[in-house]
């Protein structure tokens, strides 16, 4: 059994762990919903959204949930 974390899984983890600004959440959700890619939960485009969230965390724009 493959225990690899998919991009969708990682996005869900980040959203549970951090309080993202509403505009960032709306942006990522909007980009994913209008995405014309396939149904692969591990698509490179989805990983790009993960990197965006991780960069917001790295830059200090996001705080951990309490």
Please answer whether residues 7 and 43 qualify as being in contact, where contact means their C-beta atoms are separated by less than 8 angstroms.
yes
Question: Can you tell me the distance from the alpha carbon of 3 to that of 60, in angstroms, rounded to the nearest whole number?
Answer: 30
Question: Whose structure tokens read 């762990």?
Answer: 17
Q: What is the pTM of this model?
A: 0.85
63's tokens = 């705080």
Angle at 66 between CA 33 and CA 63, to 5 degrees: 60
Mean pLDDT of the region 38-55: 89
User: How many beta carbons lie within 10 A of that of residue 19, not counting itself?
Assistant: 12
Whole-number pLDDT of residue 3: 74
Q: What is the structure's pLDDT at 62?
A: 96
The pLDDT value given to residue 28: 94
């Amino acid at each position: 059994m493959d225990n690899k974390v998919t991009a969708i899984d990682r996005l869900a983890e980040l959203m549970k762990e951090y309080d993202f600004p509403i505009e960032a959440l709306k942006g990522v959700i909007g980009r994913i919903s209008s995405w014309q890619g396939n149904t692969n939960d591990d698509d490179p485009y989805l990983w790009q959204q993960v990197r965006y969230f991780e960069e917001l965390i790295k830059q200090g724009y996001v705080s951990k949930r309490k």
